[in-house]
């Protein structure tokens, strides 16, 4: 029997919400739990793409016999990653089209999102298999489009992170708890700045050991300048955004800078000799697993944060309103499918990447650096926009 509505769309939610998790999973009555199932499907696609890239010729030798695989060149390696990504994208895009603008629970689209797991898993498997049958030129075209889709994912994730940081700051500065949180805010902000200084210092030691490492010196120094800029503007009397948000944003941009430098290809004097080794050790494997899980978690957390992208005035939700935007959730996972493809192939469809590595190459480095600069620009705009609009409004009224 199908894992969804046993009789009709409205009866599927007749199961009490306090039933067992298995009963809620079987009857599609818990949209919160459904998020984790979609995350598992997304993780499975990531693992399949990695297996096709690193061990495809040994694990999937029958693929070389397919017409479009060209002896394995069109289905394994980088193009194999794109095919798995295409299947994953198609699945979540279908879910996006079928659940977008779902306003309330207890209807057919809500039940489709939260249930019918046998049908949806079968759909995901079928779309993944079909992706290995499509012509090579379609996969190559998808690879070009995936660059744009991955950029959209990074932008959505960036706005989500900044929105969370500003929400946390506003919450701590609210009249109800501002006095109670003052010590906590100062402690957290101080810790953030200390970690930023330590991180920048360590990056100078590890990745700029010689004066000839001009590129890394520029990346690290410019990150320090951006932190100072964000702090100065945040503490300006006309902005008065506090010290917590620039501290947390400093952590974010230092982390992105570190990831960008880590993505530089090994073999240069500015990279530690331990990273130049072609030997796959446990540290490399652990780093790969952490990066893979971090990507899935980032996609998952961003997908449920649809309120950050509501431009209309927020109203009190109805009792039967959906707990999060279903369409936005699947849209983020669809763009996340493009993003994981770019990470696994180093943002270059013709790039040969080492086993157990992710997001390595000069293209990956510059994508992260640009993402860091864009994050600072978005944050500064969120600080300055209210001041600029207020001044413009006052000028208009005076005229």
Following DSSP, what letter does each residue of 216-228 receive, concatenated? HHHHHHHHHHHHH
Backbone angles phi, psi at 151, to 5 degrees: -65, -40
Contact between 80 and 52 (Cβ < 8 Å) = yes
Q: Which tokens in the block code for residue 65?
A: 């016999």
What's the pLDDT at 180? 76
Q: How far is CA 208 from CA 69, 143, 261, in A?
A: 43, 34, 10
pLDDT of residue 15: 39
Instruction: At 353, list the tokens.
Output: 């990447």
The Cα 9–Cα 29 span in angstroms is 11
Instruction: For residue 340, count other CB atoms closer than 10 A to its CB.
Output: 28
Is the CB of residue 324 less than 8 Å from the CB of residue 333?
A: no
The 8-class DSSP code of residue 314 comes to P
pLDDT at 94 (0 to 100) = 95
pLDDT of residue 28: 53
Phi/psi-derived region of residue 70, left when phi > 0, alpha when psi is between -120 and 50, beta in every other case: left
Give, as one character, the DSSP assignment of residue 14. G
What is the mean pLDDT for each group of 10 consecutive residues in the chain (399 residues)? Answer: 39 44 57 86 90 71 54 64 93 92 78 87 94 87 91 86 83 75 86 95 89 91 96 89 90 91 75 49 64 73 61 57 83 91 82 70 88 93 86 75
pLDDT of residue 95: 93
Residue 142 pLDDT: 92
DSSP string, 19-58: S-HHHHHHHT--HHHHHHHHHHHHHHHHHHHHHHHHHHHH
DSSP 247-299: HHHHHHHHHHHHHHHHTSPS-STTS-GGGT-----HHHHHHHHHHHHHHHHHH
The CA-based diameter of the chain, rounded to the nearest angstrom, is 76
Q: Where are the alpha helices (DSSP H) in the chain?
A: 21-27, 31-59, 77-99, 108-114, 117-131, 136-172, 178-207, 214-234, 244-262, 282-303, 326-345, 362-398
Q: What gap in Å lies between CA 86 and CA 127, rounded to an integer?
A: 8
Show the tokens assigned to 241: 């955004």
CB atoms within 10 A of CB 229: 13
Torsion angle in degrees (nearest 10) through CA of 96, 101, 106, 109: -30
Give the per-residue pLDDT at 337: 92
Q: Which residues contact 221 (CB under 8 A, 6 or more apart)?
A: none
Are 81 and 49 in contact by the 8 Å Cβ rule? The answer is yes
pLDDT, residue 133, reads: 87
Question: Going by C-beta distance under 8 Å and a sequence separation of 6 or more, which residues neighbour residue 322?
Answer: 31, 102, 103, 104, 105, 110
Taking only the tens place, the pLDDT of each residue in 69-122 is 554 454 567 788 899 999 999 999 999 999 888 777 777 888 888 888 899 999
Q: Tokens for 50, please give them.
A: 């990695």
């Amino acid at each position: 029997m199908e894992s969804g509505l046993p009789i009709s769309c409205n009866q599927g939610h007749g199961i009490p919400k306090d039933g067992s998790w298995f009963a809620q999973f079987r009857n599609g009555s818990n949209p919160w739990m459904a998020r984790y199932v979609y995350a598992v499907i997304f993780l499975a696609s990531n693992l399949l793409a990695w297996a096709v890239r690193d061990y495809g010729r040994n694990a999937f030798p029958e693929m070389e016999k397919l017409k479009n695989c060209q002896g394995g060149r069109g289905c394994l390696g980088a193009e194999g990653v794109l095919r798995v990504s295409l299947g994953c994208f198609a699945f979540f895009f279908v879910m996006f089209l079928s659940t977008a603008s779902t306003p309330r629970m207890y209807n057919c689209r809500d039940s489709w999102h939260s249930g019918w797991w046998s049908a949806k898993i079968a759909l995901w498997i079928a779309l993944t298999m079909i992706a290995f049958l499509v012509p090579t030129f379609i996969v190559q075209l998808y690879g070009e489009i995936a660059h744009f889709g991955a950029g959209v994912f990074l932008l959505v994730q960036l706005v989500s992170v900044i929105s969370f940081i500003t929400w946390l700051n506003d919450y701590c500065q609210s009249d109800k708890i501002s006095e109670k949180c003052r010590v906590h805010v100062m402690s957290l902000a101080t810790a953030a700045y200390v970690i930023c200084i330590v991180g920048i210092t360590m990056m100078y030691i590890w990745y700029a050991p010689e004066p000839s490492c001009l590129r890394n010196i520029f990346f690290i120094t410019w990150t320090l300048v951006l932190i100072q800029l964000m702090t100065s503007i945040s503490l300006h009397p006309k902005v008065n955004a506090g010290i917590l948000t620039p501290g947390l944003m400093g952590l974010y941009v230092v982390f992105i800078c570190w990831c960008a430098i880590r993505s530089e290809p090994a073999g240069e004097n500015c990279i530690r000799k331990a990273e130049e080794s072609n030997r796959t050790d446990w540290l490399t494997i652990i780093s790969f697993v952490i990066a893979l899980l971090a990507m899935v978690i980032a996609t998952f957390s961003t997908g449920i944060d649809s309120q950050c992208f509501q431009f209309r005035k927020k109203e009190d939700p109805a009792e039967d309103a959906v707990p999060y935007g279903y369409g936005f959730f699947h849209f983020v996972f669809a763009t996340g499918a493009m993003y994981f493809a770019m990470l696994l192939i180093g943002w270059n469809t013709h790039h040969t990447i080492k086993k157990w590595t992710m997001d390595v190459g000069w293209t990956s480095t510059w994508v992260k650096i640009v993402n860091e600069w864009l994050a600072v620009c978005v944050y500064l705009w969120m600080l300055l926009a209210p001041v600029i609009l207020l001044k413009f409004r006052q000028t208009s009224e005076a005229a």
